[in-house]
Every structure is written in C-alpha cells, then in structure tokens.
C-alpha cells in the first residue's frame, strides 16, 4: 500500500496533567503485565473475572477491558479518517496474546524495532484509537508490538490513529452509594447512569481525569435512589454486559421517570384483576351454591317467614354474584415499592 503524502504527526508528548499521565501509563503497564497470566490454570480465570468474560481463553482484548473499567468509554463518536502518527507505547493499551517480547529471536530484534518504529503500512498493521481527552490510546491492530517496543524502551511506534471523544469531566459525576452494599455509579449529563463494574480502579482513573464524587441525596433533581437501583437490577445492569453498545449498558433517568409517571396513572380494576392476588373462586362458588340451594328449598315451604328467608338467601346469593362486576378498585397502574428492594442479587 502506498503511504499518503501528508507527513505523520508526532503524538509522543501528551497535553495532560502529570497525575493523569501517570495513571494512563500505569494503566497501559498493568494491561501488559496482566496478559502474562493468560492461559494459565489460575491466571486465565482471574483475567476472565477482571474483564467480565467468563468464556475467555487468552489475554483480554484492550477495548473490551477498557470498556469494563471506564464508564461511557464509547459514548462519543470516533472522529474522521485515520491518519499516520508516531505514538509513545507507554500511552497505548496493547496485548500479549501470541507470545511475549522475550520470545522474539535475538537476531530479529533490531529489524523488528526499526520496522515498528518507521513502517506504517496499512491500518491492518497498526491502528490505535486515540481517546484524546483521556490521553489514552487503545490498540485495535498492532496490539502485540506495544509490549515489544516497551520492553526495548523505544520512544515511538509508527501507527495509524483514529480519534475518539470522551465526555468532559464536568459532564460526569461519580455517585457514592448510600448503602455500602450497593454499587458505585457514574452519571453523565445528569441523566444517564452506568454501574462502575470495577469501582476502585474506575474512580482512580476518573479522579485523575478531574471527575467529582457526590452522594445521591446531595444532587438536585434526581428521582428516588431506591427506585433507580431497582430499575438497574430489573435490567441487570449491575451484571456483566452482553453487548458492546453503551446505550444497552445505560439507564436513562428521563425514560425511567416517564415510565414511572405512566405506571402511577390511576385506573380502575375489578376484583379479579388485582394481581398478584386472586379471588378464591372455589370458596366463593361454594358459598353462593349453598345460599342458592338453601334459598330454593326455603321458598318451597308453606310458611310465610320461611319463604321470606328463602327469598333473602337468594338475594344474598345474587348480590355476591353481581358484586364481582359491580365492585371496582382505583389505584396506580403499576405498584412499585422501593422498600421491598431485593438484595438477593448481591
């Protein structure tokens, strides 16, 4: 493939605070070190637990792991076409899936360093997504060369780079749970909620990025916390995600409020519609049948007071039959009780 005429950019130096850059570097280092546990008896299950992937058989894919650690990672669109750039491998989250740097034969090391440092080729050779606000690169192609270049203390990798956005720190709030047994949450734009699957690590990353932390009750204009957590549990958003789509891992508070408003609208119910309670039809039919039989027998007597009693019994039986259709109950369309929050999921 012929490389474009535009000269490659130099993205080695990141315009980030020292504290945040240190977190990015440690995160990239941690990923490479974790990969060494792949395909081991205990190491692989550990990686699967960390990455929310119970079927994993090798090292964690960079973007899959980062999506578990960083909320709303792919919320913003990836911008424009990929371009060539020199990237510091210390800022790149890569992978060791098919061997480690020390497995490269010594006679190939020099040539491989030169190729990785100078040859761009196509996007199939090395494509890194640059989450520019975070100062973090995530390798899609060319994942293995990251560990190799780091191990040989090389300053740059020649790669194709595609930019991706990330919400500004002011748009995100870390929500500390009111109950220690509950999950930490991240809220975007005062509307969208995601569960922090790895809260301690996620908080460290977001703190360095400049995100603030607050308790639910200290944030204005939010619905009841128990109701929100109940909705999270109903959608199983506190469990490992089975999709890469951010919207499928997110609770929309506006949509929740609209649903709650609809559920709270009052309507009429017949007695046989009061689920989960049901009328005991056998007992009811038995009582009506006894009254009808007794009333029918009484009206057959010649004594006036017995006949009147029989008519009364028949009237009571008729009233019991008609009451099922005449009686109506008024209440919310759907009853929600946050005080009965089930913690069996924990």
Angle at 182 between CA 180 and CA 187, to 5 degrees: 115
- Beta sheet of 78-87, edge-to-edge order: 9-10, 78-87, 157-164, 127-131, 136-141, 92-93
The model carries a pTM of 0.76
| Distance of alpha carbon 297 from alpha carbon 305, whole angstroms | 13
- Give the model confidence (pLDDT) of 205-219 as tens digits: 999 999 999 999 999
Sequence-ordered alpha helix ranges (H) in the chain = 18-35, 43-50, 62-69, 106-118, 144-151, 199-209, 225-234, 253-263, 281-298, 304-326
> Packing angle between helix 253-263 and helix 225-234, nearest 10 degrees?
100
- Is 36 in contact with 96 (CB distance < 8 Å)? yes
pLDDT at 345: 43
pLDDT at 344: 45
Beta bridge partners of 93: 138
CA-CA distance, 315 to 309, in Å (whole number)?
10
Q: What is the DSSP letter of 217?
A: G
Whether 142 contacts 62, CB under 8 Å: no
The residue ranges of the chain whose pLDDT is under 50 are 1-2, 343-346
Predicted confidence at residue 317, as pLDDT, reads 73
pLDDT given at position 28: 93
pLDDT of residue 308: 79
Taking every pair of C-alpha atoms in the chain, what is the biggest distance, in angstroms? Answer: 121
Query: Tell me: the pLDDT tens digits for 133-167?
Result: 999 999 999 999 999 999 999 999 999 999 999 99
């Amino acid at each position: 493939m012929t490389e474009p005429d535009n000269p490659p950019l130099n993205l080695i130096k990141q315009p980030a605070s020292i504290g945040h850059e240190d977190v990015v570097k440690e995160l990239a280092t941690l990923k490479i070190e974790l990969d060494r546990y792949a395909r081991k008896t205990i190491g692989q299950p550990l990686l699967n637990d960390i990455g929310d992937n119970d079927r994993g058989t090798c090292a964690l894919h960079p973007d899959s792991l980062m999506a578990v650690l960083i909320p709303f990672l792919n919320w913003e669109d990836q911008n424009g076409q990929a371009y060539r750039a020199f990237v510091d491998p210390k800022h790149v989250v890569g992978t060791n899936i098919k061997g480690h740097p020390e497995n490269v034969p010594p006679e190939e090391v020099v040539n491989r360093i030169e190729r990785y440092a100078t040859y761009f080729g196509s996007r199939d050779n090395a494509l890194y997504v640059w989450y520019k606000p975070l100062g973090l690169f995530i390798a899609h192609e060319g994942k293995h060369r990251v560990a190799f270049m780091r191990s040989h203390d090389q300053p740059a990798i020649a790669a194709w780079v595609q930019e991706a956005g990330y919400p500004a720190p002011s748009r995100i709030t870390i929500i500390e749970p009111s109950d220690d047994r509950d999950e930490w949450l991240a809220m975007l734009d005062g509307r969208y909620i995601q569960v922090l699957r790895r809260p301690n690590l996620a908080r460290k990353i977001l703190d360095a990025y400049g995100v603030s932390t607050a308790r639910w009750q200290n944030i204005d204009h939010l619905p009841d916390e128990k109701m929100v957590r109940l909705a999270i549990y109903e959608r199983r958003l506190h469990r490992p995600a089975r999709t890469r789509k951010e919207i499928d891992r997110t609770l929309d508070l506006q949509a929740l409020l609209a649903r709650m408003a609809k559920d709270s609208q009052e309507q009429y119910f017949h007695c046989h519609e009061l689920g989960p309670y049901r009328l005991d039809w056998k007992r009811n039919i038995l009582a009506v049948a006894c009254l009808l039989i007794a009333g029918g027998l009484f009206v057959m007597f010649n004594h006036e007071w017995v006949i009147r009693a029989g008519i009364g019994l028949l009237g009571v039986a008729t009233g019991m039959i008609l009451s099922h259709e005449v009686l109506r109950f008024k209440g919310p369309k759907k009853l929600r009780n946050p005080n009965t929050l089930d913690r069996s999921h924990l």
